């Protein structure tokens, strides 16, 4: 039985596409070339040929700082990853953005379950249990800052604030919740009414089905700060 992720990749490869800050192209020899989307026209790029090289490429930003959040918009520049098979491509993209291909596949097949932030916080234990005490107004401010595409995270938010379906943050632009929008081109500040314009039509979105551990940790900081 074909891997559903491979099937999605094959359908996307009719043209170059972007996955976060990674540009994927198919060569005339049926191989794949990955690079930072801002480096598309650069000739002097450091070459890599193994999907595991993506682990090291994604580890640090341009100035050598560790990247704890792999979907942050700070993937380093200056590299070119050449791969021979679709399986290698799948592995490399999963190293760049762990779990995002599987989430995208589930979403495309209408099998993705999203989890409200309050549910995520309520199930915390130990030192993170206090995070559930964060107020709605604090959530509104925190998500707007921590999850914003310009400087925060490139994921498209699908989860709600609570079981009643409240939006994650009213201070984020509507594009932040739209899988059709390319978050990597969102240069507008939170709350801007000006939509981001995709530079490349073919884009596989980085979807966020529930709050990540880093956001939970930030919720705890807010509560403890009070």
| 92-143 tens-digit pLDDT | 999 999 999 999 999 999 999 999 999 999 999 999 999 999 999 999 999 9
SS3 state at 38 = helix
| 19-66 tens-digit pLDDT | 999 999 988 787 899 999 999 677 789 999 999 999 999 999 999 999
Nearest to 139, CA basis, from 156, 120, 124, 126: 120
Q: What are phi and psi of 130, to 5 degrees?
A: -65, -20
Least confident of 85-89, 156-160, 195-199, 201-205: 195-199
CA distance 127 to 49: 42
SS3 state at 117 = helix
**Is the Cβ–Cβ distance between 140 and 225 less than 8 Å?**
no
- What are residue 157's DSSP bridge partners? 208
Nearest to 212, CA basis, from 154, 165, 134, 151: 154
Ranges of beta strands (E only) in the chain are: 17-19, 22-26, 32-36, 46-48, 79-83, 156-157, 203-204, 207-208
SS3 state at 218 = helix
**Mind listing the domains of the chain with CATH numbers?**
4-108 (3.30.1360.190), 117-225 (no CATH)
**pLDDT band, residue 189 (cuts 50/70/90):** very low
| 169-183 tens-digit pLDDT | 999 999 999 999 999
């Amino acid at each position: 039985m074909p891997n559903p992720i491979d099937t999605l990749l094959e359908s996307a490869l009719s043209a170059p596409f972007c996955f976060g800050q990674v540009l994927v192209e198919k060569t005339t020899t049926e191989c794949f070339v990955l690079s930072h989307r801002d480096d598309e026209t650069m000739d002097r790029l450091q070459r890599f040929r193994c999907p595991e090289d993506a682990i090291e490429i994604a580890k640090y930003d341009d100035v050598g700082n560790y990247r704890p959040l792999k979907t942050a918009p700070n993937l380093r520049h200056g590299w070119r990853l050449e791969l021979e098979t679709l399986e290698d491509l799948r592995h490399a993209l999963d190293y760049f953005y762990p779990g995002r291909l599987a989430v995208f596949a589930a979403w495309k097949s209408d099998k993705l379950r999203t989890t409200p932030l309050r549910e995520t916080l309520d199930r915390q234990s130990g030192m993170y249990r206090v995070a559930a005490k964060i107020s709605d107004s604090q959530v509104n401010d925190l998500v707007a800052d921590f999850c914003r595409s310009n400087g925060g995270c490139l994921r498209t938010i699908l989860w709600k604030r609570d079981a009643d379906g409240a939006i994650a943050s009213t201070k984020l632009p509507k594009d932040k919740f739209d899988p059709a929008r390319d978050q990597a081109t969102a240069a507008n500040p939170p709350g801007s009414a000006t939509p981001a314009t995709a530079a490349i039509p073919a884009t596989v979105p980085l979807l966020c089905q529930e709050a990540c551990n880093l956001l939970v940790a930030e919720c705890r900081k807010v509560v403890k700060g009070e």
